[in-house]
Amino acid sequence: MPDHHTAPNAAAAGTFVIGGDLTVNRLGFGAMRITGPRIMGEPADREQAKTVLRRAVDLGVTLIDTADSYGPHVSETLIAETLRPYPAGLVIATKGGLVRPGGGWISNGRPTHLREALEGSLRRLRLDRIDVYQLHAVDPRVPVEESVGALADLQAQGKIRHIGLSNVSVEELSRARSVARIVSVQNRFSLADRASDDVIDVCERDGLGFLPWHPLAAGALARRREARTQEVAERHGATPAQVVLAWLLRRSRVVLPIPGTSSPVHLEENVAAARLRLSDEEFEALRAG
């Protein structure tokens, strides 16, 4: 790990202000992996899942991302059981709009469903208002304006502080912004999967946070970059995963990586990446692949 004599701390990556009033450390935590296999059911080791959540906060993580579909409901429930009363400055972002029949992932962006989903998240997280509530996915059967309009109504009722989107294109983001103020986007993005480069560019231009999910992607594209990533990692005394997270932090000032894990060891490794600084040459070489 880089600078292993210093304890890892998420604050080393700097901060970002979501929506103009929520300051978070840029390296967050994604709470999807604290559930069971295939993101269904309870975790194999419930106490370890709680340990990971507590340790994340101890390490300076101030942004925790979850969703009602993780479990379903398990991740949100564990977060409340473990972290309430929530520390000052901790931002809990959650999502609604995906359901899990038979373990699949099915979009449901109907306003009636989103209202029910939001109320369920408030109960499980034991909150009166969600700091950042994200439409988990655009439902092809429901215009995005209609789904986001429902969230805007809930925001007007004081149940949502800020609205975010997930899994959207530039065009869908623009349409959503025509009916509500959007403060963040969460799309799949990694060193090996940069299909959302154009979305990041819009977020950077307009000051929206961008939360890359699956930031440590594996697969064919990732394997093609393994040798170069390994070379940079060895140069810094780091792991390849830390190099990838450092690259994401360097990609744009609005990028807020949310690597998830159920392992305390991996959590420490991920947070330590906040201290890793890539040179211009290393950043460009990794981008080029």
Task: Look up the CATH number of the domain holding residue 133.
Answer: 3.20.20.100
| Residue 270 in domain | no
pLDDT of the residue at 222: 53
The token pair that represents 226 in the structure block: 């393994």
Alpha carbon distance 168, 21 (integer Å) = 24
For residue 95, being part of any structural domain is answered with: yes
pLDDT, averaged in runs of 10, over the chain (289 residues) = 67 98 98 97 98 98 98 98 98 98 97 98 98 98 98 98 98 98 98 95 98 77 74 94 96 97 96 97 91
Residue 143 placed within a domain: yes
Place of tokens 């807020």: 256
In a domain, 237, yes or no: no
For residue 280, what pLDDT is reported?
97
Whether residue 133 is contained in a domain is answered as yes
pLDDT of residue 223: 62
| 227 lies in some domain | no
**Are the beta carbons of 100 and 33 closer than 8 angstroms?**
no
pLDDT at residue 226, as a whole number: 82
pLDDT for 246: 97
Of the candidates 29, 70, 213, 247, the residue annotated as catalytic is 70
Which residue's entry shows tokens 């379903």?
A: 72
Task: Say how many domains are in the chain.
Answer: 1
Question: Does residue 86 have an active-site annotation?
Answer: no
Distance, CA of 57 to CA of 55 (rounded, Å)? 5
Domain residue limits at 88: 10-216+252-261
Instruction: Establish if 52 belongs to a structural domain.
Output: yes
Report how far apart, in Å, the C-alpha atoms of 289 and of each of 125, 227, 228 are.
41, 9, 7
Q: Nearest to residue 188, comparing CAs of 40, 58, 21, 32?
A: 32
> What pLDDT score does 76 carry?
99
